[in-house]
Amino acid sequence: MHYALKESGIPAQVVTAVDINTTANQIYSCNFPDTPLWNKTIEGLSLDDFNKLSFDMILMSPPCQPFTRIGLQGDISDSRTKSLLYILDLLPRLCKLPRYILLENVKGFESSSARELLIKTLKECGYSFEEIMVSPTSVGIPNSRLRYFLIAKISKAHFSSQKILDAFPHPSEINSPEQPTVSSTSHPGTCQPEEENKATPVLYKLETPLEVQRKIMQNNDQSLRMIQDFLEPDMEVNMELYLLPPKMLLRYALILDIVQPTCRRSNCFTKGYGRYVEGTGSVLQCCMDTEMQHVFNGLEQCSEDEKLERLSKLKLRYFTPREVANLMGFPQSFSFPEQIPIKQQYKVLGNSLNVMVVARLLQLLVT
């Protein structure tokens, strides 16, 4: 959220950041050492605490677990919604309502009771708002990460869209032109499937023809940059660290989402990336001398040794944390403290959001 605010170009001072996750806080402090950071839950802040901050904008990513499609979808009965419910209870009682609000969550939030309470509270407080379901592909980044966003502004017009948009609205659809200087509270963390070189996915593994067609269309979308633009240079030196181990290749070869440097697509990276395979993110084919179709044709009939020999030729590796951060829109100035293990780096990135998407939404909100 803080990097998105910087990227947006909006003149702002972040008055405080709040998160309970100690690893996320270590990383945040490393990158923003001068920003006050409160290691506590939102519910741990009193109404007086909020009033003293006197902020103009709140950027928030409430816990997403109550709304994820693979979870129990407990919605407001899940204790992890307490932070959002607390904010909604507090908002009408603030001495000064924040002029701007941005909220991010997973797909699924849009049909929740929590979202209904959010909308009801915003209307009662005099906010106009837009709801948008958007992915980083909308800003040219070759990564799928569909998320729900809400941007709200105190407005006399009391206008709000009757539907959830699936693309960025035109600025005139949201509010009149202005460029204020704002102060903000920021939340460091949040929760969590080629035309130029004719790289075409083939029907292999456990893919359906529809999935293959979708990948072909994504790879042919010239509005998206290539994966190679987001890779670390000189990875040959450290490649062994990130190569998929033999057991992983043998067990999960048929469900891996494999991309090449010239592809214009990659699957959403989750907090389980690097530990689990299915649905956690794409892996990269580093050896282009071997055709993927030749590796997978008849693979199931091969012995384990033959399978491993074939699969190893592709040199499949995980994206590095730096590369995932690049695909998430983080600037090159972003870094991890040395003491943060790679597993934890993947985990916090998987729980994060796309910086460029949020920056675009902030620009729409205040300009």
pTM listed for this prediction? 0.88
- Number of structural domains found in the chain: 2
CATH number at residue 39: 3.40.50.150
Instruction: Say whether both 181 and 111 belong to one domain.
Output: yes
Which is higher by pLDDT, 196 or 267?
Answer: 267
Which positions are annotated as active-site residues?
Answer: 64
How does pLDDT run across 59-81, given as a tens digit for each residue? 999 877 766 666 556 676 676 77
Instruction: Say whether both 6 and 153 belong to one domain.
Output: yes
Instruction: Say whether both 173 and 238 belong to one domain.
Output: no
- Residue 270, domain member (yes or no): yes
Residue type, 268: C
Share of the chain above pLDDT 70, in %: 84
CATH number at residue 230: 3.90.120.10
pLDDT at 199 over 50: no
Instruction: Say whether both 22 and 159 belong to one domain.
Output: yes
DSSP 284-309: EE--TTS-HHHHHTTGGGS-HHHHHH
Structural domain span for residue 126:
2-191+353-366
Of 108-117, 145-154, 306-315, least confident by mean pLDDT is 108-117
pLDDT at 131 over 60: yes
pLDDT at 41 over 50: yes
CA proximity to 153, closest of 189, 185, 170, 178: 178
- Residue 202, domain member (yes or no): no
Mean pLDDT across 318-326: 97
CA proximity to 42, closest of 68, 14, 67, 63: 63
Question: Residue 252 — pLDDT band, cuts 50, 70, 90?
Answer: very high
SS3 119: helix
Place of tokens 């282009």: 288
| DSSP, res 137 | G
Instruction: Say whether both 291 and 360 belong to one domain.
Output: no
Instruction: Say whether both 80 and 7 belong to one domain.
Output: yes
Q: What is the pLDDT of residue 175?
A: 46
How does pLDDT run across 350-365, given as a tens digit for each residue? 999 999 999 999 999 9
Mean pLDDT across 97-116: 91
- Residue 200, domain member (yes or no): no
Instruction: Say whether both 251 and 136 belong to one domain.
Output: no
SS3 2: helix
| Separation of alpha carbons 18 and 38, rounded Å | 5
